Amino acid sequence: MNEFELFFALGHKHVLDIDAYDHILFLAALTLSYDLGQWKRLLGLVTLFTLGHTASIVATFYGHVQAPAALIELLIPITIITAALHNIWRSLHNKAQGSIGLLFVVTLIFGVIHGFGFGRYFMQIAQDTGVESFLAFALGIEWAQLVVVMIVLLLSFVAQRVMRLNRRDWIIMLSGGVIGLTLPMLIERI
């Protein structure tokens, strides 16, 4: 396996690692309020999350920023819960998705936070690598994130179109599930 393939694999394994399910939960919360017809907007959000994630890994790797580990580990579940609560609030109040600019900025910031959570590990595994490794890692992350997004979109489609579940109820139910899975992570990090 060459270096590009190795770091691509590390990138997608980082997202799809069931033991580190925070990434999956955030992506699920981010995706739940969208449907297949909104794929361009959702792709933009996921890509911004990847860019933020990659930027903070690069900043950590090159020693430009050393974020306090305890703070970052606390902020990660807070970002997940915030995204899920936002879904619930919007669903309960029949609010549209709001300002795309603000949503993109928040998603980028959340990506930066999640990236700092992985930055120290990346420093250990990528000591003598170059830009190609970062690119491969970022592409691996993006590919895996798109897999998660497509699974959530497919589940939402089946639940709403085949099983005839109310869209609002579906979003609230799954966002509540995301919060329920994230709360123990938050409590253990306080």
pLDDT single digits (tens) 150-167: 999 999 999 999 999 999
**Which tens digits make up the pLDDT trace of 46-73?**
889 989 988 998 898 888 888 898 999 9
- 133 vs 75, residue with greater confidence: 75
Query: Among 156, 190, 186, which Cα is nearest to 174's?
Result: 156
Q: Can you give the pLDDT at residue 96?
A: 66
Query: 100-125 and 22-31 helices cross at what angle (nearest 10)?
Result: 160
Q: Determine the pLDDT at residue 36.
A: 86
List the structure tokens of 157.
Answer: 């489609």
Phi, psi angles (nearest 5°) of residue 106: -65, -40
Give the pLDDT confidence of 86-123 residue by residue, as tens digits. Answer: 999 989 988 766 666 778 889 999 999 999 988 877 77
Domain of 112, CATH number, reads: 1.20.1250
- Per-residue pLDDT at 1 exceeds 80: no
Contacts 24+ apart (CB under 8 A), 84-90: 84/29, 84/32, 84/175, 84/176, 84/178, 84/179, 84/182, 85/175, 85/179, 87/29, 87/32, 87/33, 87/171, 87/172, 87/175, 88/171, 88/172, 88/175, 88/176, 90/33
- pLDDT per residue over 124-134, tens digit each? 777 777 778 88
CA distances from 9 to 2, 20, 33, 42, 161 (A): 11, 15, 29, 23, 34
Per-residue confidence (pLDDT) for residue 125, from 0 to 100:
78
**What's the structural domain count of the chain?**
1
Q: Which domain holds residue 156?
A: 3-189
